[in-house]
């Protein structure tokens, strides 16, 4: 057993911010643990949206105690590391594979997969895939929600920081963003894909208990620009800036209900221990509907059946898997039960392996 000290992470951005968000988070997490980390990204502009201080034109720069490198073509990168992570199936240049196969001991090479709660994930986690041409093995590494997966990424101090985020810290955070929720209103954050029934949601929110819905810049043209506010019936819509990831955590912690999407924001919302609705990344063959079903079944396993039905129906509607209009007022009424449950769910997630630690542990065993 040898401790992996150098780690290279490779990220090819497909679209949006999730791929690069997960890789950046992982790089920062490893660097925090004293590892020598290099993150290779093919689209630094995308990362700049999350970390505005970076220079997207720079070939190499320091960020959050790791090295950030631009990965602009298929030329050999000359990578040597104890642990090599190809995020989401991205392909490494052939010359680097040849180089990796000649190193002794061989680097541990994993393909970090997308997050899914489907039961087959447990059986595929850690399966080796021998390379067809070179004496190399790539291992499938699946994040997940159960003991027999790689778990979810969580910074060592995240839950303590979450716990310390009290009423006063929340008000200071909100007022810094110019947010003053009307008295007695529920605070909601909205991060979703344009395919979500956003107009219908806003329509529902106009009647019932007062709601202030915060929409980060760029999410939908149906919301006001950052800093602007619109009021319609019981709904106050407020545009907020696209925040840096640690600030976005604070936003999730501050809201009574968070609409999240893709992968990384959904994980953060679960660590936030607040009620959440997840819009999965829409896939052409409706694979997202299967993923949604698997997650909902697991997530609401121990939830009060009435609440589970209200939340489940809303969640299916939000993901395009149900036509019937869900019960917005019912969902608002269920928030106190959902809040208590979200905390129990956070605790459950905290008891399974943590993704970065599982990757290190696996690399240790293989080496
Ligand atoms: O941007 P996404 O839609 O990314 C998606 C998913 O990862 C999906 O699985 C993948 O296949 C696709 O990309 C290519 O949603 P996600 O995963 O939530 O990533 C958004 C990131 O942006 C996340 O790290 C949170 C961060 N964020 C901020 O830092 N500030 C903000 O204000 C907001 C709204 C998000």
245: CB partners within 8 A, 6+ apart: 21, 24, 25, 50, 51, 268
Reported as a single tens digit per residue, the pLDDT across 25-60 is: 999 999 999 999 999 999 999 999 999 999 999 999
> Domain tally for the chain?
2
Reported as a single tens digit per residue, the pLDDT across 81-140 is: 999 999 999 999 988 999 899 988 889 999 999 999 999 999 999 999 999 899 999 999
Does ligand 1 come within 6 angstroms of the Cβ of 248?
yes
| pLDDT band per the 50, 70, 90 thresholds, residue 178 | very high
Regarding whether 177 and 137 lie in a shared domain, the answer is no
φ, ψ of residue 313 to 5 degrees: the values are: -65, -40
Regarding whether 199 and 137 lie in a shared domain, the answer is no
Regarding whether 136 and 56 lie in a shared domain, the answer is yes
Structure tokens at 341: 């449950």
Regarding whether 121 and 13 lie in a shared domain, the answer is yes
Residue 361 lies in a domain: no
Q: From the CA of 191, give the closest atom in ligand 1.
A: 34
Report the mean per-residue pLDDT for the chain: 96
**Catalytic annotation on 138?**
no
pTM (2 d.p.) = 0.97
Does ligand 1 come within 6 angstroms of the Cβ of 287?
no
| Residue 278: per-residue pLDDT | 98
Regarding whether 181 and 130 lie in a shared domain, the answer is no
Q: Are strands 6-11 and 36-41 parallel, antiparallel or unpaired?
A: parallel
Reported as a single tens digit per residue, the pLDDT across 266-296 is: 999 999 999 999 999 999 888 999 999 999 9
Reported as a single tens digit per residue, the pLDDT across 298-342 is: 999 999 999 999 999 999 999 999 999 999 999 999 999 999 999
Regarding whether 97 and 237 lie in a shared domain, the answer is no
Regarding whether 163 and 290 lie in a shared domain, the answer is yes
Range of the domain at 270: 158-350
Residue 185 lies in a domain: yes
CATH number at residue 222: 3.40.50
Mutate which of 12, 13, 17 for ligand 1 pocket (most atoms within 8 A of beta carbon): 17
Task: Report how far residue 77's alpha carbon sits from residue 64's, in angstroms, rounded to the nearest whole number.
Answer: 22
Regarding whether 217 and 262 lie in a shared domain, the answer is yes
């Amino acid at each position: 057993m040898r401790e992996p000290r150098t780690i290279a992470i490779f990220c090819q951005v497909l679209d949006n911010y999730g791929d690069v968000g997960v890789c950046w988070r992982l790089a920062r997490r490893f660097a925090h643990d004293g590892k020598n980390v290099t993150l290779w990204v093919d689209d630094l502009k995308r990362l700049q949206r999350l970390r505005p201080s970076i220079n997207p034109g720079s070939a190499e720069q320091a960020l959050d105690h790791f090295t950030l490198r631009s990965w602009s073509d298929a030329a050999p990168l000359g990578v040597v590391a104890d642990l090599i992570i190809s995020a989401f199936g991205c392909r490494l240049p052939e010359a680097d594979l040849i180089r990796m196969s000649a190193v002794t001991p061989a680097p541990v090479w994993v393909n970090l997969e997308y997050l899914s709660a489907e039961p087959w994930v447990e059986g595929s986690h850690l399966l080796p895939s021998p390379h067809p041409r070179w004496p190399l093995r790539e291992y499938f590494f699946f994040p997940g929600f159960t003991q027999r997966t790689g778990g979810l990424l969580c910074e060592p101090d995240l839950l303590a920081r979450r716990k310390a985020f009290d009423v006063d810290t929340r008000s200071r955070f909100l007022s810094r963003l110019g947010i003053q929720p009307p008295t007695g209103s529920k605070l909601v954050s909205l991060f979703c894909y344009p395919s979500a029934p956003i107009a219908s949601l806003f329509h529902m929110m106009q009647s019932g208990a007062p709601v202030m819905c915060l929409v980060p810049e760029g999410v939908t043209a149906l919301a006001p620009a950052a800093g602007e506010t619109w009021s319609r019936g019981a709904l106050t819509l407020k545009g907020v800036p696209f925040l840096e990831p640690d600030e976005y955590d604070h936003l999730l912690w501050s809201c009574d209900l968070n609409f999240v999407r893709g992968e990384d924001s959904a994980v953060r919302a679960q660590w936030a221990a607040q009620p959440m609705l997840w819009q999965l990344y829409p896939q052409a063959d409706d694979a997202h509907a299967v993923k949604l079903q698997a997650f909902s079944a697991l997530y609401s396993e121990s939830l009060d059946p009435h609440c589970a039905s209200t939340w489940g129906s809303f969640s299916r509607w939000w993901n395009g898997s149900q036509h019937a209009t869900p019960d917005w007022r019912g969902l608002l009424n269920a928030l106190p039960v959902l809040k208590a449950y979200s905390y129990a769910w956070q605790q459950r997630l905290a008891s399974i392996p943590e993704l970065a630690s599982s990757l290190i542990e696996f690399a240790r065993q293989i080496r």
